[in-house]
Amino acid sequence: MDLLFPFADSWGLYAGFTALVLALLAVDLGVFHRRAHVVSFRESVIWSMVWITTGLAVCAGLGAYTTSHFGAATGREIALEFLAGYVVEKSLAIDNVFVFVLVFRYFAVPAAYQHRVLFYGILGALAFRAGFIALGAALMRFELVMLLFGGFLLLTGARMLWSPEPHVEPERNLLVRLLRRALPITPTFEDARFLIRRDGRLHATPLLVALVFLEVSDVVFAVDSVPAIFALTREPLIVFTSNVCAILGLRAMYFLLAGAIERFHLIGYGLACVLIFVGLKMVWLNAAFDGHFPISWSLAIITVLIGGSVAASLAFPARATASNSTPSHPPHAPYPPYPPTRPS
């Protein structure tokens, strides 16, 4: 299958989109979040609308550009592929929000510093995703690779059905353990700094440890989400832009949902079903529909699965337990300089 937007011919689109993203991030950090502060619910709503509007604008722009070069039918198809990829990544990002909540509780990260950790975490995520997408674009040309990734998504979805809630175990993470060996860790936070120098020696702060763990977590999530979008479109440009637009809204989504995330206790089952569906697209459905399962059907199925799990969560609330209401460390507690015990 020939690509509509091969990189050699469309590098200007990649460069223009990347420049737009970097400019928006610079304005975000340099103007609106220059000083560490607690992000209010109102602020998170405004930024959520900003990033969703940005995603929709990119979708409309890609659709219009494709229409002008390849016709209205192809333009509509590309716009729907972007939208489906965006919805999948946004949906899977809810799992990221669960992890953010658990990590910030585990490390007792003060609310005023959480935006800074998430900002640099998402910068790293964008770089990692670009690498994953470039690798995926090279590998997805081979039918065997498509089948392998489809099988992997099926297994991942089945595993999530059995264990839909994410778990956080920083003390078992290899990179976190290596960081502790490479640098001494300060027992308390040092304002919003990741590194400080004491007695001529560089020290890491608990904020850096939390950031490293979030970066590693995103790499794990990318292994699921990037192949999932490749199941919806073969165009690397659509995978890249939809993935990035969804990630940009992760911080606002966290601050919007963090206080109510435990209400969506059934969302994991919806996400598992989405992964199973896109896995089936890779290994069976696309071939059954002459190489391409209708994207409009895909978008409708994904929306129903996620919307249904959210509605079910609200209709059948989870029973409150001590384990999901008490953080692993008391708020603003000093970070333990040695590996802590596993949270109960």
Give 204: exposed, middle or buried? Use CB within 10 Å, 0-12, 13-18, 19+.
buried
- How distant, in Å, are the alpha carbons of 89, 164, 259, 296, 309 from that of 303? 12, 19, 24, 11, 10
The tokens for 322 are 């001590």
Inter-residue contact 105 to 268 (CB < 8 Å): no
pLDDT value for 79: 96
DSSP string covering 26-78: HHIIIIITSS--PPPHHHHHHHHHHHHHHHHHHHHHHHHHHHHHH-HHHHHHH
pLDDT value for 1: 57
**Residue type, position 44, single letter:** S
pLDDT value for 126: 87
pLDDT value for 98: 83
Task: Tell me the pLDDT tens digit for each residue of 175-207.
Answer: 888 888 888 999 889 888 999 998 888 999 999
**Residue type, position 18, single letter:** T
Q: Is the dihedral of CA 64, 66, 70, 76 positive or negative?
A: negative
Which of these, 343, 136, 120, 127, lies nearest to 225 by C-alpha position? Answer: 136
CA angle (22, 131, 237) in 5-degree steps: 70
Q: Profile the chain (344 residues) by mean pLDDT over runs of 10 residues.
A: 86 93 84 77 89 95 96 96 93 84 87 89 87 87 87 90 73 80 89 89 92 87 85 93 92 83 84 92 88 89 93 84 44 42 35
- How distant, in Å, are the alpha carbons of 156, 255, 262 from that of 258? 25, 5, 8
Phi/psi for 189 (5° steps) reads -70, 145
Helices (H), 107-173: 111-139, 143-162
CA angle (171, 213, 140) in 5-degree steps: 120
CA 174 to chain centre: 21
DSSP string covering 156-192: HHHHHHH--S----GGG-HHHHHHHHHS-B-SS--TT
The tokens for 299 are 């978008």
Which of these, 340, 343, 97, lies nearest to 217 by C-alpha position? Answer: 97
Helix (H) or strand (E) holding 198: strand 195-198
Angle between helices 72-106 and 250-257 (to 10 degrees): 50
DSSP structural state of residue 281: I
The span from the CA of 231 to the CA of 280, in Å, is: 9
The span from the CA of 179 to the CA of 212, in Å, is: 9
The span from the CA of 289 to the CA of 54, in Å, is: 33
Helix (H) or strand (E) holding 219: helix 206-230
Task: Tell me the pLDDT tens digit for each residue of 307-323.
Answer: 999 999 999 987 755 44
Partners of 185 in beta bridges = 204
Which of these, 19, 8, 26, lies nearest to 241 by C-alpha position? Answer: 19
pLDDT value for 339: 41
